[in-house]
Copies of this chain bind each other. A is one copy, B any other.
Amino acid sequence: MRIEELDTPVLSVDLGALEGNLARYQRYYDEKGIGFRPHIKTHKTLPIAHLQMAKGAMGLTCQKLGEAEVMATGGLGKDLLIPYNIVGRQKLVRLMALSRQANVTVAADSDYTVDGLSEAAHADGVTLGVIVEVETGGKRAGIPPEAAVELAKRIDDSPGLELRGFMSFPTSPNVRPLIQQTVDLFDAAGLPHPIVSGGGTGSALVAHETPELTEYRAGEYAVGGAGHLAAGRHTVEQCALRVVATVVSRPTEDRAILDAGSKSLSADAHQIDGKRSMGYIVEYPDARLSSCSEEHGQVDLSLCDTKPSVGDRVQILPIHPCPCVNEHDVMVAVREGRVEAVWPVHARGKIR
């Protein structure tokens, strides 16, 4: 069966492009002697995670405990990093169970998180690896180097925990001074840091400019997307993840409506060249997919020389692959247009 025979909207991944991306990035990390720990939050799918490990990844990154449970159950528990503050009794019970099935490291940025992890691990008789999350501009979790080293001391002193270093996100070469400062503070305090973990596809191929990094986390590298295309990191052909959609309305000369909206692409939008974009339409590069309702994608065709008709199909490179994949129960794996597999999005909706 060919992808053209499947009804729309449908999420597809091109296997040739995917395999090329996995090989290209893994080769870089192998050449530079940096560990590569792909982030499964982008694809959320066991077969792709298995491909990443088979290519030489040292382990995997999972953003939530539930994602890590899916990977461990799928035979991928060799070395899992959950770069997240895991708090609360229910999750700690699950984390302890997981740490008996898999080799797990988690992140922390507060005494509260560390004390909860220690209490649970000590009571359960397990040793849990913990790294500190250092703020390097992500404005998510994460604390400055001075606070990080204080927290590292607490981890090192906590029963049931093993201090394994620290992490940051994003980790462009611009933030190397913060990474160096943190390493120096750890060293001065005599604290171990076998893991110094950087992350973010944007700077994934310049990780070696921060030689303190022992490993790197990237997710979107595997499939690209409209933002990576615009930034020159992926060609159209290298953008493996595509939502195939149908034009369901051409209400005006300059407007097309697709059957893929935020329930197919996610509601995420980024600025590209100063304009709001929710995706790139492969067949109509001058079209602008600027807004979506749940079931409609609104396309401005005013700059297009040729324009699609109602019933035509288009391929959309999503602006943000991770939440896009999360909207789908399955992903259709194609090679040269032929459907080779229909993969469940195994870790879809694992919000806890």
Contacts and interface: CB of A to CB of B under 8 A. Distances in A.
Interface of A: 7-10, 41, 63-64, 84-85, 87-88, 90-91, 109-110, 112-113, 135, 139-143, 246, 248-251, 255, 257, 259-260, 262-264, 266-269, 293-296, 298, 309-311, 320, 322-323, 326-329, 349, 351-352
A248 B248 CA distance: 43
Nearest to A255: B139
Contacts of A139: 255, 298
Nearest to A139: B298
Contact of A266 (B8, B267, B329): B267
Interface of chain A, main secondary structure = loop
A286 to B, nearest CB: 19
B88 A246 contact: yes
A263 B326 contact: yes
A262 B251 contact: no
Contact of A309 (B112, B141, B320): B112
A251 B135 contact: yes
Given A109-B251, A326-B327, A320 B267 contact: yes
A293 B39 CA distance: 14
Contacts of A298: 139-140
A350 to B, nearest CB: 8
A7 B322 contact: no
A251 to B, nearest CB: 6
11 contacts: A84-B295, A88-B311, A141-B249, A260-B351, A263-B326, A264-B351, A266-B266, A266-B267, A267-B267, A267-B320, A327-B351
Nearest to A293: B140
A141 to B, nearest CB: 4
Given A88-B8, A310-B85, A295 B63 contact: yes
